[in-house]
Structures are given as structure tokens and as C-alpha cells.
């Protein structure tokens, strides 16, 4: 079984979460859900970064101890994951005692390897970045990222010999051209390495809020070293079993470009020093921008995702972020943009497609999805008299093999969509995958217009009234001895169209699951109880996990084996319901 370990950055608890944090967590969740659908062994980690100067300062400003402050703020960050519908398997806090102990052991390994020495640091430090910075990189004396004034620091610290890893790091980049993605971020990180690396201070003498250096408790470990190690430490205590062998090295560390240097340079060097394998990939997505600028609390321009989520649900929010912004590039977001896309694509396109399909099956076929007409079945099946494909998507053990190829005008496009979405998601091109899914939503809507089921129903009924031989008012769906009346033809075409649409919705429920899990489940519900499928995740298995993430109740969703045309099981009865996406009227 393939494994897939994905992480988000652990977020600072100095302030409340904003849409940028929700974005990364959502994107990681999309990838994790897709890999669960593939049947991979998935571990999805997020959490909070709770030590360091800025958390200490934020707590002091509120008259709280740092731990009291962190305990309050962490609730809001756990809530981000819950409200965007993320099924993370664990939520790590860097104040967890198990993490703290692990960090000390890790740093001790680097010390024992001879990569840490004592020296003095004299220079600038930006608390907003939690980073040492050089005078020449400031803009008008201010941090270019945060617009804040760095502080001067002069203290004896422990230093990590980053310079000693320059060659090995560059070689790793050259040997692994996919180590950092997308490519321009790889180039950025490699060129930073090639410009020459200086040793870095990895402890603080004046700060109290941190993990003690194991061999010198007068110093605390630099917050970034403490934080990066979370990706390893979590595996040692997230579950009653040690997950290290099962999941390390991480498949993807996901983040925006602000923290590329820490992950692309310092983290791999620390891992090399301590003797661990490096993560397989870093994926750097872009910034969500508001009014042309990166959102940042320090700058005071942030968009709060929660009112939108509370009002319209997690799925429209997830959809908007991944549809509006090309994954891997920066993009502008706004509340107006959200509402416009919601109305045009969710309400008018997807919502409408679902409601009209269900209502037409209700109106024309008494709510039962018709069997496809015999001439639409492959020859072997029609000789057997079988009216439906042999595979049932409800069963995890359904036989694999070529699906019954119904001769539908949608079949080829549906199969091409499944293939494209799979390869785009495997490639972490999340927005391109959603674009492919949307192409199929639009195709189904066009199909409704082309086939005009209401006309077919009318033709079937009109001919019937003219005495075209229906039994008991039941629509005719089978041709008799090649003598096909107009009514029979219309009824058969109607059956075929309604079957195609129901099958199209079933397929969408599989392809949409990573992006909009609640919507995918709602579509399956409308297609009838037979389609409900869910399997447990690592979080679901991990009873009693220390941060209560197991209660998110996220299942693995419909298997990706269902992403093929022609698997609609027989005997489905559709269930009408309220609109999935009521229009926003304001
Ligand atoms: N605590 C560190 C990370 C340590 S990881 C070992 C940190 N925290 S943070 O709270 O500042 O989070 C930064 C991350 O939040 C970004 O890399 C990105 O994942 C996400 N984003 C924050 N603002 C964002 C946008 N405006 N747009 C997109 N992502 C954003 O850095």
C-alpha cells in the first residue's frame, strides 16, 4: 500500500487565524482525501507553533502567561481545521511534553555530531518573522515582510554549522529536481544555497518561553528549530503505535513562500545532521492577497473566513479558494468574488444540475433511476438479459477490470475527466484538477440542454395518447423485435438520458469528494442510500488521541475505483431535497 504523509506549517498562536491559514489546511485536506480515496495509508498533520518571542509578547500584552495565552488561542486554530472540514489525523502543539522531549533529543544528536558550537550573536532580529535579519535586507529600516522594526540583539548563543551542509544540500537539490515544487521555488531555494550559507544561531539566552537546550538550561532552543522538528515528533506520539517507520519521510510539506528558506535549507540540514532522511517534497503554494497585498495580521489587512463558512458552509469556501487561485501562484480573494462564484458556479451550475436531474427522475420515472436501454449495453450483457453493469461501487471488494462500457455519448469524456483529475491530483495541481471536474459539470448541463428530457417525455406521452401501445401507463424502455414506435424511441432516449445524468452525478460525487466532501456526500444521498460509502481514517482508528481530532468524524469517502464510467448500481431511488446551494441574494 502506498503511503502519503502531508503536513501544513504549524501556525503561530500570537494572533487569531485568518484565511491564509485556512487555505493551506484546506489544500492539504484535499490532497489527503484524494489519497485516502486511492486507498493509500494517509497521515495528515497540522498544529500550532507556541514558543518564541512573538507569542511571549502577545501573551504579555494580554496580561497572561504564554501558556495561558496559547491554551486560549489553540482552540481557535483547532477550530480552523474543524470548520474547513479538514480530516487531519493529529493536531500537534509544540508545548506538548512529548514534543518538547523529542526536540531536546534531536538537538542533542546534532550537538553530539559536532554540528553545534557556542559563539556570540550581535545583530538584528525580527520577532514577526522570528528570524535573524541583515541590515541590508531592510526597507527604510523595516522588515520587508512585516513592515515592523527589528530589534538589536547581542548575546552568547549556540550556533548550528549550516555552512558545513552547503555542498550536501546543493547535491540533494541537484539529485532531486522535484524536492521543492513548483520549479521556480526550487530555483529560488537552490540559488540561496549556492550563494553561500552562514552558520545560524539556534538558541536564545534572553528569551524564557521555549524548550531548554538539553546541555545548557540557561538557553532555550530557537523557535524555528523547535517548530520544524514537529513533523517528526508528532509521529512518535500521535497514536499508541509509533508511526515513524510507517510515515517518515514526509511526502509533502505544504506552505507558502514566506517560510521556504526554513524548510528548504535549515530543515534538511538539521535532518542530515541528526541522521534522518529528508522529506520527499516541499510544495509551495502562493499567497492569497487582499487588495493586492499579502494578508498579514501585522499589516492589518486580513480576510476572516469564518463568517463565510458559518453562513455558506465549508464546501463553498474550499471550492472558492481552490477555484479562484491557481495552486502554486498568488491570487486575489474577496467577499464579492466569493459570492459571484458561488452563485454562478455552485448555485447555477452544480446545484441546478443535481436538482434538475433528481426532479426529472422523480417526475418522469417515479423516482427510480431507469436501467439503461438494451441497445446501450455491450453485446454480451444484452444477450444475458442483464440490464445493468455487473460491478457495484458500494462494495470495497468490487471486482476491478474494465467497467461495462455503456455506449453513452458521455462515456469517453467521463473517462478522460477521471484520468485527468487523477493525474492532476497526484501532481498536486489542485486547481487544475478542480477545473477538470468543472468541465464535466458543464458537460452534463449541456447534455441536459441537448437531450431536452422534457421534450422526450412529451413525445413519449403524446404518442402514447395516440395509442402507441404502452402497458398500464408505464413508460416503455425496451424495443420489441426492431419495430420501434416513436413513443418507444422517445421513452428509451429518456431512459438513456436520465441514466446518463444519474451516472454523471455519481461520478461527480467521487471526483468532488476531495474538494467538497459534504457536497459529494449530499449528491450520493440524493442518488439513494445504496451509494453511501465510507471507510475509517487513521484519525478514526486512533481512539483517545490526545487532542481530540478523532471526533472530526472524517471517513475516507468513496473509493477512487469508482472513478470510472458505467458503474451505477441498479435499483437506485433518488431522494429529492432542498437546493444544495441556495442563491445568495444581495
Ligand atoms: N510558525 C511558522 C511555521 C512553522 S512550520 C514548522 C509560521 N506560522 S504562520 O502562522 O505565520 O503561518 C505561515 C503559513 O500560513 C504560510 O506559509 C501559509 O501556509 C499560511 N499563510 C499565511 N498567510 C497566508 C496567505 N495570505 N496566503 C496563503 N497562505 C498563507 O510561519
Question: pLDDT grade, residue 135 (50/70/90)?
Answer: confident
The x, y and z cell numbers of residue 539, run together, are 484519525
- For the chain, give the mean pLDDT: 88
Ligand 1: nearest atom to the Cα of 11? 10
Ligand 1: nearest atom to the Cα of 17? 10
User: How are the residues of the chain apportioned to helix, strand and coil, as percentages rounded to the nearest 5?
Assistant: 50, 15, 35
From 342, 335, 288, 334, select the one nearest 316 (Cα to Cα).
342
Mutation test residue for ligand 1: of 8, 12, 20, the one with most atoms within 8 Å of CB: 20
Q: Which residues are catalytic?
A: 18, 21, 126, 129, 143, 146, 294, 297
* Measured distance CA(28)–CA(44) in Å, rounded: 8
Ligand 1: nearest atom to the Cα of 257? 17
* Measured distance CA(498)–CA(359) in Å, rounded: 10
Alpha-carbon distances of 450 from 261, 362, 453, 455, 488, rounded to whole Å: 53, 20, 9, 10, 19
Please give the average per-residue pLDDT across 269-275, as a whole number.
Answer: 98
Specify the 3-state DSSP secondary structure of 41.
strand
Cβ 514 under 6 angstroms from ligand 1: no
Q: pLDDT at residue 401 above 90?
A: no
Q: pLDDT at residue 49 above 60?
A: yes
* Measured distance CA(59)–CA(55) in Å, rounded: 6
From 324, 285, 320, 286, select the one nearest 305 (Cα to Cα).
320
Model confidence pLDDT, tens digit, residues 115-126? 999 999 888 999
From 494, 576, 566, select the one nearest 527 (Cα to Cα).
576
Model confidence pLDDT, tens digit, residues 545-577? 333 333 334 567 899 999 999 999 888 999 999
Model confidence pLDDT, tens digit, residues 297-309? 666 777 888 888 9
| More confident site: 312 or 9 | 9
CB atoms within 10 A of CB 393: 25
Residue ID of nearest Cα to ligand 1 atom 24: 20
State the residue for C-alpha cell 484565511.
19
CB atoms within 10 A of CB 63: 8
| More confident site: 574 or 404 | 574
| More confident site: 127 or 441 | 441
Cβ 332 under 6 angstroms from ligand 1: no
Write phi, then psi, for 365 (nearest 5 degrees): -135, 25
* Measured distance CA(313)–CA(306) in Å, rounded: 9
All residues at 6 or more sequence positions from 373 whose CB lies less than 8 Å from its CB, including other chains: 477, 478, 479, 492, 495, 496
In the prediction, which pLDDT does 543 show? 34
* Measured distance CA(568)–CA(147) in Å, rounded: 57
Q: pLDDT at residue 382 above 90?
A: no
How long is the chain? 586
Please give the average per-residue pLDDT across 394-422, as a whole number.
Answer: 72
Q: pLDDT at residue 475 above 60?
A: no
In the prediction, which pLDDT does 64 show? 97
CB atoms within 10 A of CB 539: 24
Q: pLDDT at residue 535 above 70?
A: no
State the residue for C-alpha cell 487588495.
291
Question: Exposure pattern of 414-425 as b/e (b: 16+ CB <10 Å)?
Answer: bbebbebbbebb
Question: pLDDT grade, residue 384 (50/70/90)?
Answer: very low
**Do 23 and 288 contact (CB within 8 A), yes or no?**
yes
The region of weakest confidence among 48-52, 128-132, 279-283, 364-368 is: 128-132
Q: How far apart are the first and last CA of the chain?
A: 49
Q: pLDDT at residue 268 above 80?
A: yes
* Measured distance CA(467)–CA(473) in Å, rounded: 11
Assess whether the previous peptide bond of 184 is cis (omega < 30° from 0): no
Q: By percentage, how much of the chain surpasses pLDDT 70?
A: 85
Residue ID of nearest Cα to ligand 1 atom 6: 228
Which range in 81-90, 405-414, 456-465 is most confidently predicted, on average pLDDT? 81-90
Alpha-carbon distances of 295 from 18, 23, 61, 93, 388, rounded to whole Å: 9, 12, 22, 24, 53
DSSP assigned state of 586 = -
Instruction: For Cα atoms 524, 387, 459, give the angle at the middle one, nearest 5 degrees.
Output: 85
The x, y and z cell numbers of residue 267, run together, are 530543515
Q: pLDDT at residue 341 above 80?
A: yes
Residue ID of nearest Cα to ligand 1 atom 18: 256
Please give the average per-residue pLDDT across 353-368, as a whole number.
Answer: 97
Please give the average per-residue pLDDT across 362-390, as a whole number.
Answer: 66
Cβ 49 under 6 angstroms from ligand 1: yes
**Do 565 and 403 contact (CB within 8 A), yes or no?**
yes
SS3 letters across 379-411: HHHHHHCCCCCCCCCCCCCCCCCCCCCCCCCCH
Model confidence pLDDT, tens digit, residues 167-216? 999 999 999 999 999 999 999 999 999 999 999 999 999 999 999 999 99
Ligand 1: nearest atom to the Cα of 255? 19
Please give the average per-residue pLDDT across 262-283, as a whole number.
Answer: 98
* Measured distance CA(406)–CA(389) in Å, rounded: 8
Report CA(256)–ligand 1 centroid distance (Å): 6
Q: pLDDT at residue 394 above 90?
A: no
Cβ burial, residue 118 (10 Å; 0-12/13-18/19+): exposed
Q: pLDDT at residue 61 above 70?
A: yes
From 246, 225, 12, select the one nearest 100 (Cα to Cα).
225
Report CA(145)–ligand 1 centroid distance (Å): 12
Write phi, then psi, for 45 (nearest 5 degrees): -115, 135
* Measured distance CA(123)–CA(200) in Å, rounded: 12
In the prediction, which pLDDT does 121 show? 87
Amino acid at each position: 500500500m502506498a503511503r502519503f504523509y502531508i503536513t501544513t506549517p504549524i501556525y503561530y498562536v500570537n494572533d487569531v487565524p485568518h484565511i491564509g491559514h485556512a487555505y493551506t489546511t484546506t489544500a492539504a485536506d484535499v490532497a489527503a482525501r484524494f489519497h485516502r480515496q486511492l486507498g493509500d495509508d494517509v497521515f495528515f498533520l497540522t498544529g500550532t507553533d507556541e514558543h518564541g518571542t512573538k507569542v511571549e509578547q502577545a501573551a504579555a500584552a494580554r496580561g497572561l502567561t504564554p501558556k495561558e495565552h496559547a491554551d486560549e488561542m489553540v482552540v481557535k486554530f483547532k477550530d480552523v481545521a474543524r470548520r474547513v472540514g479538514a480530516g487531519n489525523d493529529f493536531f500537534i502543539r509544540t508545548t506538548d511534553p512529548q514534543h518538547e522531549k523529542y526536540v531536546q533529543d534531536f538537538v542533542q544528536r546534532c550537538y553530539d555530531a559536532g554540528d553545534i558550537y557556542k559563539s556570540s550573536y550581535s545583530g538584528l532580529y525580527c520577532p514577526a518573522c522570528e528570524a535573524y535579519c541583515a541590515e541590508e535586507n531592510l526597507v527604510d529600516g523595516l522588515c520587508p515582510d512585516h513592515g515592523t522594526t527589528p530589534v538589536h540583539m547581542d548575546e552568547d548563543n549556540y550556533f548550528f554549522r549550516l555552512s558545513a551542509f552547503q555542498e550536501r544540500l546543493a547535491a540533494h537539490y541537484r539529485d532531486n529536481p522535484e524536492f521543492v515544487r513548483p520549479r521556480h521555488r526550487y530555483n529560488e531555494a537552490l540559488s540561496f544555497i549556492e550563494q553561500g550559507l552562514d552558520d545560524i544561531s539556534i538558541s536564545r539566552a534572553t528569551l524564557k518561553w521555549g524548550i531548554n537546550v538539553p546541555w545548557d538550561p540557561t538557553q532555550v532552543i530557537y523557535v524555528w528549530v523547535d517548530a520544524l522538528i514537529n513533523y517528526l515528533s508528532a509521529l512518535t506520539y500521535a497514536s499508541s503505535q509509533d508511526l515513524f517507520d510507517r510515515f517518515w519521510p514526509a511526502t509533502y510539506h505544504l506552505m507558502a513562500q514566506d517560510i521556504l528558506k526554513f524548510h528548504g535549507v535549515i530543515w534538511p540540514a538539521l535532518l542530515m545532521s541528526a541522521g534522518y532522511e529528508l522529506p520527499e517534497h516541499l510544495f509551495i503554494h502562493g499567497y492569497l492577497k487582499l487588495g493586492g497585498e499579502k494578508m498579514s495580521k501585522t499589516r492589518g489587512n486580513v480576510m476572516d473566513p469564518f463568517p463565510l463558512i458559518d453562513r455558506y458552509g465549508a464546501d463553498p469556501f474550499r471550492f472558492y479558494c481552490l477555484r479562484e487561485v491557481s495552486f502554486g501562484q498568488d491570487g486575489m480573494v474577496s467577499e464579492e468574488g466569493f459570492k459571484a462564484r458561488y452563485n454562478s458556479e455552485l448555485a447555477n451550475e452544480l446545484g441546478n444540475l443535481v436538482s434538475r436531474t433528481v426532479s426529472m427522475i422523480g417526475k418522469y420515472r417515479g423516482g427510480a433511476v431507469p436501467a439503461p436501454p438494451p441497445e446501450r449495453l455491450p453485446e454480451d450483457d444484452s444477450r444475458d438479459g442483464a440490464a445493468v453493469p455487473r460491478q457495484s461501487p458500494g462494495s470495497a471488494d468490487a471486482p476491478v477490470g474494465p467497467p461495462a462500457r455503456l455506449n453513452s455519448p458521455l462515456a469517453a469524456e467521463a473517462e478522460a475527466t477521471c484520468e485527468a483529475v487523477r493525474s492532476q491530483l497526484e501532481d498536486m495541481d489542485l486547481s487544475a484538477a478542480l477545473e477538470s471536474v468543472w468541465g464535466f459539470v458543464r458537460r452534463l448541463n449541456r447534455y441536459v440542454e441537448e437531450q431536452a428530457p422534457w421534450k422526450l417525455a412529451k413525445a413519449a406521452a403524446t404518442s402514447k395518447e395516440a395509442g402507441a401501445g404502452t402497458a398500464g401507463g408505464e413508460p416503455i424502455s425496451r424495443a420489441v423485435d426492431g419495430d420501434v414506435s416513436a413513443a418507444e424511441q422517445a421513452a428509451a432516449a429518456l431512459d438513456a438520458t436520465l441514466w446518463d445524468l444519474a451516472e454523471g452525478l455519481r461520478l461527480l460525487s467521487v471526483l468532488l469528494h476531495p474538494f467538497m466532501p459534504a457536497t459529494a456526500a449530499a449528491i450520493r444521498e440524493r442518488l439513494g442510500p445504496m451509494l453511501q460509502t465510507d471507510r475509517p481514517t487513521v484519525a478514526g482508528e486512533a481512539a483517545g488521541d490526545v487532542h481530540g481530532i478523532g471526533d472530526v468524524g472524517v471517513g475516507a469517502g468513496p473509493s477512487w475505483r469508482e472513478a470510472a464510467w458505467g458503474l451505477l448500481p441498479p435499483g437506485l431511488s433518488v431522494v429529492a431535497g432542498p437546493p444544495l446551494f441556495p442563491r445568495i441574494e444581495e
